[in-house]
Amino acid sequence: MTLLESALYAAMQEKRYSDGFCVVALHLLGGNSTALREMLLFMTDRKVSEKRATEELGRICRDFSITPII
């Protein structure tokens, strides 16, 4: 796990987001350091619900053309 991934994971755990959300977010953003930074800034800049974080994750994925690999 990279430093950015660790920081994002810690921020999500601090906000008590579900393990499922944390795993999915890291899986989707893990290959893109710019997207990771954007999500981390979003997480640390606001007090947001998991629902709002999910919406932001979707926006970041759209903006960076990130598609899930299943």
- The pLDDT assigned to 46 comes to 74
Q: What is the share, in percent, of the chain residues with pLDDT greater than 70?
A: 99
Please say if the pLDDT value at position 69 is more than 80: no
- The pLDDT assigned to 70 comes to 63
- The pLDDT assigned to 56 comes to 96
Q: Where are the domains of the chain?
A: 3-63
Long-range contacts of 63-70 (CB under 8 A, 24+ apart): 63/35, 64/32, 64/34, 64/35, 66/28, 66/29, 66/31, 66/32, 66/35, 68/27, 68/28
Average pLDDT estimate for 37-42: 95
pTM, 2 dp: 0.90
Average pLDDT estimate for 19-43: 95
